[in-house]
Structure formats: structure tokens, C-alpha cells
Amino acid sequence: MKKKLSIYLLFLLSLQLNAQSTNEMITAYPANWFVQMKWNKVQVLLRSTSIDFSKASVQVNYPGVKLLKINKFDNAHYAAIDLEVSKDAKPGDVKLIITEGGKTISKNWTLNARRAGKGTKFAQGVNQSDFIYFLMPDRFSNGDSTNDRIAGLKDQTLNRNKMYDRHGGDLQGVQNHLDYMQKMGATTLWMTPVIENDMPSRTEHGYAFTDHYAIEKRFGGAAAYLKLSDELHRRGMKLIQDAVYNHVGLYHFLVQDAPSKDWLHQWPSFTQTTYKDQVIYDPYAAQSDRKVMADGWFTTEMPDMNHQNSFVANFLIQHALWSVETFGIDGWRIDTYIYNNLNFMNQCNKALLDEYPKLTSFGECWVHGVANQAYFVENNMNTPFKSNLQAPVDFQTLFHGIQPALNEKNSWDQGVINLYTTLSSDYLYKDPSRNVIFLDNHDMTRALSTFGESVPKLKMAMAWLMTCRGIPQLYYGTEVLMKGISNPDGLVRSDFPGGWVGDNKNTFTEQGLTPEELDMLHYTQKLGNYRKSSAAITTGKMMQYVPKDGLYVYFRYTPTQTVMCVMNTNSAEVKVDFAKFAERTTGFTGGKDIVSGNSIAPQFTIPAQTLQVIELNK
């Protein structure tokens, strides 16, 4: 009897071990979901290289979870199962029973409780009261040297002297310096993607995903990302995640081992996008031109996703929802927005808003012209296609606004008049206060270099950034005069001074900074913190006056506060009189320069190449 019992126990143990091993052989995307979600019909993509899913059956036995359909693919490594999670379902492990070729395999798929029950605010969105600090984790600070290299990953580079190698920055390094960001008045953190990039090279930027559901191990993995998110929210700050829907990395498992031939946009030979946004809205455009624009690949290393494949669409939308719930994301910056299928983007944006009504998204719409840009967001134009994206990254106020304002000689159609003209087209947007304005980013020449390394011009641009309508985004290092021309782009992605042990300069402690760098840092901090406390700037309206002789004046105001912004783009000082702006200055007897603290009389002289931010008083 004892012998039979022993044999039976060994048999049960072998079944358990077999179940555990086969459980590990099957991966599920997403690996878990959440109870009480509005998106309760979840399409789970199953993958295994040791199971023939074309011959497999799947059963689910869990209270409140119903198997609706099993979807098979040309590639037998995959199946997609449609599950319905009822409102009565409880957290726990849902067992997926997969039968194939006479063997039965058990796979756990987890239902988790909602993050909302954990007591931390998230999915808050961003608005005009926010100030976004934008950085590249690999180039900001190395807080954990143990993850600089990870065995098994393709890119094993680690050399700070080479612009395209990894430098070792990580999420712990970012968390270590949240005080620095808050001291500058920043309320929100946006980073280049933190998702796994197991590519052979150029992994420092993060835009070529190889596994959506894995956080980059060289940044510290999911634990470090969750820890950073929790710390941001504990401080009352917000987290923006960088979304890439348009493409993936060439070494993504869904490229190397695609479920179906139409998972990607396939061409007879490599076909690159034309980058011609006009064909998307041009009423006379050829359909062939539209196809190449939208379906062409970005590079040979970044295959283009086919959003018209419903399985691809569900995979991407569910990943976005899963990310918000898992990591407490507050909003999205969407990469290469105009190259996505726009109907898919509307579907994705709606799914996120249905689940998280306060969440906001802003898209990289790198186009030429305000109307072109407005087309891709919520707008007031009468066009056949209507976007539901809340806002763009505002390239127009950069390229056709602040840059010509400070770099061109003033005339009737040059110089600062361009900034006025660009803003005058805000009537095209449903809500231009949601536009994210900026001076530079990881893809373009740094602001200081754009302005000819003129610190006075950069200060004017910084003051404009902090006072104009919209949500300011500051690229790391602009505040300490980091420079670089984006040819190649590695020159604008240098390491942040002080982010590594042994750096000669340390921005965080202010040791080793030159007087000019220190002055610029303090100037930025002064403006950022004033902005944070100013109702006129964070919630108020804007009024601008037509520039005259290189002088541009605009106001931000509420019923209780008025801020006057005076931009002198000339090479000589200019006299200013409140009386010329009576519509906004009547009743005020003077003001205070918020940077210097000096009192300002109704008639005053503004120095050359200066933007004075003046809070008016009665």
C-alpha cells in the first residue's frame, strides 16, 4: 500500500513539475488583467515555440471569466483567446487549460485588483498648470551601476565617450534627483521610452521596442519603474509615458516570429515613408502617396505596424491600458503621431479616455504650418476626418514662432511678427492651452545652439516658454546651457553634468558650474516657480498686441491677477508706456519684475534682448 501511495505521489509530482515547465513555455500578452475594468473583453495573445496552436484547444474554468473565442494564425506558435471578465470576477489566477497532441498544459493568467484601490492618484492628465521636464534615462544619471550591462542582451556597449553607446543612466538615477526637478518648479516627468530595446545597437534612445511588456532591465526593470512612479505621485508629481504605436524594433519577437504576414506593413522591397504629411489631408492626394506616407517604414531597423489588423490594434490598445493601470501613468506623449493609422489612433485614444477620463495625450506632429498641425488634434475645422487627440507637441510656436522672433531681423514679415502670427492662428484648435510648447528636444539642435549660443536670447526664450499659453516642456540640460547641433543627433544627447560619480561639474549640487551656467539655472528656477504659483499663467487667458519695431507685448490674466510680458528683440533698449496697452493696464499703477524683484513704473525702459515678466499692481 505504501509503495502504491509513493508511486501515486511521484505521479502527481511529475504532473505538477510538467505543468510548471509547460506553464513557463507559454507566454501571454498581456500576462495579467484587472477586475472592474470597462475594457472587460480582453484578447490574450498566447505564444509558444513548442506547442502547435493550430491543433490546440483551450478551456477556461474560473468564476466570472468566460472564453468567447479562440483565434488561430498562419503561424502555429500563436493563438489569441477572447476572454470576457464579468463585473463579479475576483482577483486570482485564471487557469488556461491547453490541450494539444494528447498533452494537457496549464497556464496561469492573473486577474489583479485595480490600482485605484491602492490609494495613489494616477491617470490625472496634464494641463496648463503643469511644467514638464523631459529627459533620456540613459543620459541623465546612473543611480545603479549594477545594471549597466545585462548578460544576454545584444547591445553590450558601455562607453560615455561614444555618443551611440550606452552610458549607464537608469531610473534610480532619475528618482535620486526629483528634488532637483521640483526645485525648478517642474510638476511632471516625461522620459524617452523605458520599454525593452534588445537591439544590437543604438539602444540608448529607446524607440525600437522588442517586448512591449518588459521594462528595460538596464534601467532597473519594472520594479524600478513602479518605484519611480510611486515616488512621483507621493510628491504630487505626474508621469508621462512615451508611446510608440507606429513601429517596433526589428528584433521584436512579433517581427522575428510574426503571428501573420499582415502583422506588419510589407513591401516588395524596403520602402521608407515619404514624411509628407500633406498627403494625409490633401483633398487632391493620390491614394498611393497616402499609403507610402502612412505605411512606409521609418528605417530598416523599425518595421511599420499594421493597425488595420484588428489583432495588432488590440495588442497595442491593451498594452496602453495595462501600462496606465500597472505603473500609474498620468498621460501619454505619442511618438510619430502622424504616421499612425489615424482611425486606429482615435480608437486607442477613446479606449484610454473611456477608462481614465482625466488622462491626456499629446502627439508628436512634426509638420509645417498651424493648419497642418491642427488637423491631427481636436480642432474647429470642417474636415472629413476628425481627430480626438487632445493636443500636439507644438512645433509651430517653435519653428515659426520663438525661433524667428529671436533669430531674424524685424520687418513686416520677419522676426517677432512670426510669433504673433503663429499664435493668432490658435482659433483652429479646440483648446490651444493644452498644446505642449518647447525650445528643443532629443531630435533637434539644442536651444542655446539654435540661438547662436547667445545667453540673452536663451533667457528670452525661457521666459516665453514659462509664460506663453500652453504646457511648457523643458529638455534636460537647457537650464545649464548644454549645447549641440543635431547633425548627428548624438550631439544633442550628451550626459547631464553630475549624473555620474566623478563628473567635474555637478548641476545637482551646483559645484563646478560656470557663473553663466549657474545664472541660467537660477533664472530658470525663478521663472518655473513663479509660473507654478501664478493663477494668471496657469489658468488665465492670453491677450497679445501686434509687435511694433521689434517690441512684442502680451498679457496673461485672470480677474485677480495680470502678468505683462514685454519682449524687446532689438539690439537697443526701448521705452515702454502702459498707456499703449490700456485695455489690459487700466487701473494698474505699476508692477514688479518677477525675476529681479524691482519695481516697474507705468513708463519704463526695457534693455535690449530682454523679456521682462511683470506682475501688475494697483
Residue-wise pLDDT for 294-334, tens only, equals 999 999 999 999 999 999 999 999 999 999 999 999 999 99
pLDDT confidence of 102, banded at 50, 70, 90?
A: confident
Q: Which amino acid type is present at position 206?
A: G
Share of the chain above pLDDT 70, in %: 96
DSSP H helical ranges for 47-177: 137-140, 171-175
**Tens digit of pLDDT for each residue in 179-220?**
999 999 999 999 999 999 999 999 999 999 999 999 999 999
**Is the pLDDT at 14 greater than 60, yes or no?**
no
Residues 6+ apart with CB under 8 A from 13: none
**pLDDT tens for each residue of 367-384:** 999 999 999 999 999 999
- The mean pLDDT of 173-177, rounded to a whole number, is 98
What is residue 116's predicted lDDT score, i.e. its pLDDT? 78
Q: Dump pLDDT digits (tens) for 105-114.
A: 999 999 999 9
Q: Catalytic residue at 394?
A: no
| Catalytic member of 335, 426, 495, 615 | 335
Phi, psi (degrees; rounded to nearest 5) at 308: -80, -10
Residue 8: is its pLDDT beyond 60? Answer: no
- Strand (E) or helix (H) holding 474: strand 471-475
* Average pLDDT of span 275-281: 96
| Banded pLDDT at 118 (limits 50, 70, 90) | low
Say if CB 23 and CB 66 are below 8 A apart: no
User: How wide is the angle at C-alpha 458 spanned by C-alphas 554 and 361, nearest 5°?
Assistant: 70
With cut-offs at 50, 70 and 90, classify the pLDDT of residue 120. Answer: confident
Tell me the pairing of strands 471-475 and 132-135.
parallel
Go through the domains of the chain in sequence order and give each one's CATH number: 2-113 (2.60.40.10), 132-533 (3.20.20.80), 542-617 (2.60.40.1180)
Please check the confidence at residue 9 and state whether its pLDDT lies above 90: no
Please confirm, yes or no, whether 144 is among the known catalytic residues. Answer: no
| pLDDT value for 164 | 96
Alpha carbon distance 191, 206 (integer Å): 10
pLDDT at 405: 98
DSSP collapsed to 3 states, 5-71: HHHHHHHHHHHHHHHHHHHHHCEEECCEEECCCCCCEEEEEEECCCCCHHHCEEEECECCEEEEEEE
pLDDT of residue 4: 40
- Tell me the average pLDDT of the chain: 95
Confidence of residue 491 (pLDDT cuts 50, 70, 90): very high
> Which of the residues 364, 394, 426, 517 is marked catalytic?
364
The SS3 call for residue 357 is coil
The mean pLDDT of 460-480, rounded to a whole number, is 98
